[in-house]
Structure 1
């Protein structure tokens, strides 16, 4: 029996459903959520999924976002007498899943909070009241009776250091919170439409899990010791039931590909301080877009030997500034000391502020690394206000700049490879010259393109190949809109020169360029021969590029007598 309210009546709704024996899902449907962490332009909202397991003892797995307080708590009381809840299992403490833990404890003070050691420590920081707790680690079990024996698997850095998976041996259900989730809000309880959810599933992985690919593989290895997984009860989106094996294997394949990088960047942050975790995730996402492997580590609670080993095998180090006072500062300072003692002059460095109100100053740390001979690849990111989408985009672009800098030798080698007959033959594939422009929220970006082709008549459609490390790629997800500006033969050099420049992270790519605004909000270049307003319909991954298929909604030619500029190359192994 499923109870829900239609999307048209209320934009914050609840869905309650029995999913397996003695197990109920309470899904908070956030239809209008369009921004989440570092992800931009969520097209399909999101959900916050909570679960109640009622054996001889009762366990609540995660809660919900605090915005659902007035709906979630009364619904929970309808389903179960709060005084009979024996355990509250915390998969991880990010507020969208644990935002109502304090409220639940007020109506169920007898409940024992179960979580990883780090999760319990984090929870103490925002519950601010005594509570019973039980710290668990990989392999520990909790018997609820009636066959519901729960086994726990630590999955640190997916995508917080406190993440824990919970497997119910009785129903073969794996409770995963963020892992195997997606920001996709619909009335579908389960993954009935694989094609519909696949783009959001992939985008979610790329943003939140891809920067921790090696941690994903480690978690999958630990999961291998569990029984068959018949259902994945995730924290966001529809639950996985019909495509469990397929979607778990996608994580494995994607992570294996990302972990193959020849070079590695270590990203250090403080997960529960300021905006360190969000900024570090954005930087890591930008790095992974270039094919570089990222390993993330919390400055707090880190094993110093693991810190030393990670730094020594990394080609670059990124550090989020920790607090300058208190117990956390002392612990972070010890880790910083290990990092400084382990770096070499061949490495690159990047630093960013956490905007936690008590950050260590950036400049002294920069000076220390400079004196040791490390190269600063991107300017220090100084967050002076509550970060928004523009700040996180700046962080992403800084990460991409770092990744591209680490790949510079490979790029130069490709450019010098002029003797290959194949490269010369590929270079004879000519194309028009175009500039893609896009605006989403406060973000604007642009890209010079030549890999563009008409792909359909009805509806009119075009395909565009976009390199994975292009800044505009994040603004060309399914449902996004943009403008394809078609350049004019004999009148394109100034635009080509401008958009071929290397822009600093966060720079305005349209400064000094005449533009108008399209109906879809994207910039139109005034000097373009013609333009097409497009909407992304689908994306296909092709090695180092995305092939993006787009529906053309409208267009206009400003100079009917003119011809499109054509681009000819000598070789086909680089732009």
Structure 2
């Protein structure tokens, strides 16, 4: 059954389908959403998945985003009488999954809300009304009758601190909320076409799960104790059934690689306080792009011993400023005291303000870190209002800056260690010199490039290799547009020097550079020899680079008698 709103012209729709005996998914399809939380561009919209399990008793697993309120409640009412609900299982309290909890409580005042201890605490602070509750721990079970016995697994930090998984022994369906999901919207309930979804699956992992790789591995170890899983019912995107083994295997492989990283950064934040969780996630994503592992920890629930152990192995520490008032402030300040007590002068640090009105000044934390002898990786990020795309992009850049700083010695060592005949031969490949520029909304960026080649005639296409730790990488996904500016021989040094320098966070890359807009909105450099307007069609993972294939729609040469600037290297193991 698909419900369609004419007003939104297929932008918000509902889908229901039985996925197992007595088990129905209620999928809220958000076809046109193009941004999600952090600097997380969505090419294919997203879905918010909810599940109805009907034994002798009825359980609803998660709700939906508040934008679907009427559509969702109408759909639910078409399936059951909501007042007959016995249990509402809250996998975690992030608003896109629990945005309609209050509405469900109004329709089913006797329902028992099931969640982890932290989730129930969050709901009590948010709802400000009494409700029946059941706090569950790992291994606890709930019998719905007709053999639907639910078992709960604690899975903190995937990607909120209060996350639980729910396993139905009868249907062998595991409900995992954010874990194993993806932001992908289409009419297919399941993962029939692996090739169609695998890029979105990986991108989702990189943004949300990669910074919590050790937590992923812990959760998967707990999953291995279940008698068998036939379906993973995710909170976003298609459910995993046809390619379950393949996709969970990829999660394990990616997480093991992250967990083995030589360098780790500890990121401390407060979930559901200001924008601390989203800002910390953006910074963490930037860090992981440099090959550095991230461990995220919520100040609200952090245990002193866990904090000490994490800080002791971390090369860098990031803290989001906590509240200065209330019980949360007291807890957070105690944890921060533990962090300071466990640091050493060889570590780097970064601080951001969460945007909440009563947050502590970031400079107080900065001064304390400085007094302890730690190195500041970036200037404090001060957020006074709702973050914009520019804010999230800046936070991601800050994370990349920290990761690059922490790996600088290793990178230099690797460059010096390799000087074989192979690298010398590879270095003899000559490359043209280019500046790639792009503008998306209020975000503009640029990159000096030399690994560029024509890739096709029909359609006209090129490839550009982009290092994974480049800030511009997050602006070069499928559907994004850019301009490739070709530099002229004998007239490129000024532009090359400008775009190769390190820019302060948030700095305008085009200050003092003459540009004019392309038809796709990206800047064209007035001093370039030629330019090409491009649109990204696909990306290929090449370990430390992405190879971006793009079609070319427009171009022009401004100096017909000039030649392209060319770069010659001595060795092929670094630029």
TM range (shorter): over 0.9
Which stretch shifts more, 390-399 or 137-146?
A: 137-146
Most deviating of 58-67 and 175-184: 175-184
- Report the counterpart of residue 113 of structure 2 in structure 1: 113
Shift of 1:511: 1.0
Could you tell me which residue of structure 2 aligns to residue 52 of structure 1?
52
Map of 1:341 onto structure 2: 341
Shift of 1:439: 1.5
Contact persistence 2:40–2:207 (CA under 8 A): no
Provide the residue aligned with 2:494 in structure 1.
494
Task: State the match for 1:157 in structure 2.
Answer: 157
Q: Tell me if the contact between 1:176 and 1:233 (Cα under 8 Å) persists in the aligned partners.
A: yes
**1:286 counterpart = 2:286:** yes
Deviation at 1:417, TM superposition (A): 4.2
Task: Give how far 1:452 is off.
Answer: 1.1
Aligned partner of residue 538 in structure 1, secondary structure: strand
Shift of 1:553: 2.1
1:90, CA displacement in angstroms? 0.5
Deviation at 1:390, TM superposition (A): 0.6
- Determine the structure 2 residue equivalent to 1:560: 560
> Could you tell which deviates more after superposition, 189-198 or 308-317?
189-198
8 Å Cα contact 2:448-2:500 kept in structure 1: yes
Q: State the 1:227 CA deviation.
A: 2.6
1:369 aligns with 2:397: no
Alpha-carbon distance in structure 2 between the residues aligned to 1:152 and 1:79: 25
Q: What corresponds to 1:544 in structure 2?
A: 544
The alignment's TM-score, normalised by the length of structure 1, stands at: 0.98
Post-superposition Cα deviations, 1:482-531, rounded to whole Å, max 9, x if no partner, equal 11111111111111000001011221111111111112111111111111
Q: Which deviations, in whole Å up to 9, do the C-alpha atoms of 1:201-222 show, x marking residues without a partner?
A: 1111111111111111111111
CA distance in 2, matches of 1:521, 1:256: 40
2:132 matched residue in structure 1 = 132
Displacement after TM superposition at 1:397 (Å): 0.4
1:5 equivalent in alignment to 2:10: no
Instruction: Report matched runs for 1:51-90 at 5 Å.
Output: 51-90=51-90
Secondary structure of the structure 2 residue equivalent to 1:40:
coil
Q: Secondary structure of 1:364's match?
A: helix
> Aligned equivalents of 2:216 and 2:349: distance in 1?
25
Deviation at 1:376, TM superposition (A): 0.6
For residues 108-507 of structure 1, the aligned pairs below 5 Å read 108-417=108-417, 419-507=419-507
Q: Distance in 1 between matches of 2:416 and 2:241?
A: 50
CA distance in 2, matches of 1:222, 1:441: 43
Partner Cα distance (1:75, 1:226) in 2: 32
Which whole-Å deviations, capped at 9, do the CAs of 1:41-71 have from their partners, x for residues lacking one? 3111111111100111100000011111111
Cα distance, 1:299–1:416 mapped onto 2, change above 3 Å: same
8 Å CA contact retained: 2:2, 2:13: no
Determine if contact 1:40/1:475 at 8 Å carries over to the other structure.
no
| 1:418 CA drift (Å) | 6.5
TM-score relative to the length of structure 2? 0.98
* Per-residue deviation, residues 422-469 of structure 1 (Å, max 9, x unmatched): 222221111111111111121111111111111222111111111110
1:82–1:107 contact (8 Å) kept in structure 2: yes
Name the SS for the 1:35 alignment partner. coil
Paired residues, number:
574
Q: Distance in 1 between matches of 2:72 and 2:241?
A: 24
- Deviation string 1:20-41 (CA, Å, 9 cap, x unpaired) is 1111111111112111111333
What is the distance in 2 between the residues matched to 1:526 and 1:42?
32
Asked whether 1:529 is paired with 2:529, we answer: yes
> Structure 1: how far apart are the matches of 2:40 and 2:517?
21
- SS where residue 76 of structure 2 aligns? helix
| CA distance 1:418–1:105, change in 2 (3 Å) | closer
Q: Distance in 2 between matches of 1:253 and 1:531?
A: 40
**Structure 1 residue 365: deviation in Å?**
1.7
- Describe the shift of the 1:195–1:6 C-alpha distance in structure 2 as closer, same or farther (beyond 3 A): farther
Change (3 A) 1:188 1:567: same
Gaps of 5+ in 2: none
State the distance in 1 between where 2:423 and 2:321 align.
Answer: 45
Q: For the residues of structure 2 that align with 1:198 and 1:531, how far apart are their CA atoms? A: 32
- 1:37 to 2:37 alignment: yes
Instruction: Check the 8 A contact 1:3/1:17 in 2, yes or no.
Output: no
Any idea what SS the aligned residue of 1:191 has? coil
Measure, in 2, the Cα distance between the counterparts of 1:288 and 1:27. Answer: 31
Q: Secondary structure at the match of 2:86?
A: strand
Conserved 8 A contact 1:418-1:424: no
Q: Is the 8 A contact 2:183 2:236 kept in 1?
A: yes
**Separation (CA, whole Å) in 2 of partners of 1:74 and 1:364:** 50
User: How much does 1:198 deviate?
Assistant: 1.4
Deviation at 1:76, TM superposition (A): 0.9
Alpha carbon RMSD of aligned pairs, Å?
Answer: 1.3
Separation (CA, whole Å) in 2 of partners of 1:239 and 1:271: 27
**Structure 1: 4+ residue segments shifted above 4 A:** none
Asked if structure 2 preserves the Cα contact closer than 8 Å seen for 1:299 and 1:335, the reply is yes
C-alpha distance after superposition, 1:284-308 (max 9, x if no partner): 0000000001101011121100100
2:515 corresponds in structure 1 to 515
CA contact (8 A) 1:211 1:285 kept: yes
State the 1:6 CA deviation. 8.2
> Structure 1: where are the runs of 5+ without partners?
none
Partner of 2:4, secondary structure, is coil
SS of 2:341's equivalent? helix
Distance 1:530 1:10 in 2: 41
